[in-house]
Amino acid sequence: MQTCPFPPAWIRPHDDGLLLVGRDGEVLNTNRDGQHLGQPVCPFPMALTHGVVIGARLLATWMDHELRMARFAALDMNGLVDGPSRASVRRGEVAALHPSGHLWSHALEAEPLALIEHHGNVVLALHPNALYLIDEEGRELARTTLPEPQDSLGAGLVHLQSEDDGTVHITLRDGSSHKVSFDGPVAVALGRAPTDQPIRDVAYGPQGRLLLTESHDALWLDGDAVRMTARLSGPPGQVVWSSEHEGWLIAGWRERVLLSSSGFKRTEQNNVDVAVYSKDSKVMIVDNDGTWSAFEA
């Protein structure tokens, strides 16, 4: 795995390899072995907040609070190019108002909260509670709203999960779960997590789900039952299920954690881990310096 040439924010594996995404909107394609394909570019000079790869297209959102600007656009994965300067965007130059090389681009009037693939299309959530089903050409197919929270912790969206039955599983900050359909009845409440702490994130695997609270607790749930809990040292980067380890791999805050049926195993790190990439039977982690290293349980 080649070192990422910019501080990474997140990664997106796809059929042909891996997309590296930087904190300031940089993007770089690699092959499946992590070897760089071309040079890093920045299609738009602001944070690339969410992205989904469908075929040879990257559907993504960009957001900048200072400039009060948000975009939703599609780029050709095989034709990523450098975009305008931040100064050009700030001046409002016509050619600088959308990501360069876009196949289509829409100005958003609200902050993008989440973006996931959903049966060949994408689901886009916008602040405060809008939920859209959109095809790869950027056309709206249907819309609905996010469900209401079940207690005073609030309705902040934490996670969207596409389900095989065509519904979308939604987790809110208060730990409540809901099932939403774009062509069915109103949202169906599925219950609430067994914690009074606000939820920061959730990961899904074949043996349940892992809830991460804002107080840095990790709760492994099997249905409604808590199978195991752990206290993390800080907000983690990415969490994935590993069939190889039969447990959760947590790219943590100066730590790497394996939470499995064998227990809790923690390894201290000098840097902050960002994301996890599984290739064949090997698990690699990239840290905030862009350096890759093997996860060792």
Write the single-letter amino acid at 162. S
- Alpha-helical (H) ranges within 111-270 are none
The domain of 274 spans: 198-297
Write the single-letter amino acid at 46. M
Q: Which residue is listed with tokens 């450098």?
A: 82
CA–CA separation, 211 and 180 (whole Å):
20
Confidence class for position 151, pLDDT limits 50, 70, 90:
confident
Q: What is the pLDDT of residues 2-60, one digit of tens each?
A: 999 999 999 999 999 999 999 999 999 999 999 999 999 999 999 999 999 999 999 99
Is 155 a residue whose pLDDT tops 80? no
CB within 8 Å of 4: residues ≥ 6 apart: 20, 22, 28, 286, 290, 291, 292
Over pLDDT 70: what percentage of the chain?
99
Q: Is cis: bond before 128, omega within 30 of 0?
A: yes
Confidence class for position 108, pLDDT limits 50, 70, 90:
very high
Confidence class for position 186, pLDDT limits 50, 70, 90:
confident
Q: Is the Cβ–Cβ distance between 112 and 70 less than 8 Å?
A: yes
Q: How many domains does the chain have?
A: 1
Over pLDDT 90: what percentage of the chain?
85
CA–CA separation, 1 and 286 (whole Å):
9
| Residue 128 maps to a domain | no
Q: What is the pLDDT of residues 194-207, one digit of tens each?
A: 998 999 999 999 99
What is the per-residue pLDDT for 282? 85
| Residue 205 maps to a domain | yes
DSSP state of 86: H
Structure tokens at 254: 């100066």
Domain of 206, CATH number, reads 2.40.10.360
- Alpha-helical (H) ranges within the chain are 86-91
CA 26 to chain centre: 16
Q: What is the pLDDT of residues 222-275, one digit of tens each?
A: 988 999 999 999 999 999 998 888 999 999 899 999 999 888 999 999 989 999
Residue 251 to residues 66, 189, 197, 289, Cα–Cα distance (Å) = 29, 31, 21, 14
What is the per-residue pLDDT for 184? 74
Confidence class for position 154, pLDDT limits 50, 70, 90:
low
Is 281 a residue whose pLDDT tops 90? no
Q: What is the 3-state secondary structure (H, E, C) of 239-288?
A: EEEECCCCEEEEECCCEEEEEECCEEEEEECCCCEEEEEEECCEEEEEEC
What is the per-residue pLDDT for 149? 85
Q: Which residue is listed with tokens 């969410």?
A: 50
Residue 55: which of 14, 86, 93 has the closest Cα?
Answer: 14
Q: What is the pLDDT of residues 51-85, one digit of tens each?
A: 999 999 999 999 999 999 999 999 999 999 999 99
Between 148 and 8, name the one with better pLDDT: 8
| Residue 275 maps to a domain | yes
What is the per-residue pLDDT for 169? 96
Average of per-residue pLDDT across 142-164: 88
Average of per-residue pLDDT across 133-144: 97
Between 283 and 132, name the one with better pLDDT: 132
Which residues, in sequence order, are bridge partners of residue 47?
63
Q: Is the Cβ–Cβ distance between 34 and 18 less than 8 Å?
A: yes
CA–CA separation, 248 and 287 (whole Å):
18
What is the per-residue pLDDT for 261? 86
Q: Which residue is listed with tokens 């770089």?
A: 28
| Residue 112 maps to a domain | no
Q: Is the Cβ–Cβ distance between 107 and 68 less than 8 Å?
A: no
What is the per-residue pLDDT for 165? 93
| Residue 211 maps to a domain | yes
| Residue 4 maps to a domain | no
Is 297 a residue whose pLDDT tops 70? no
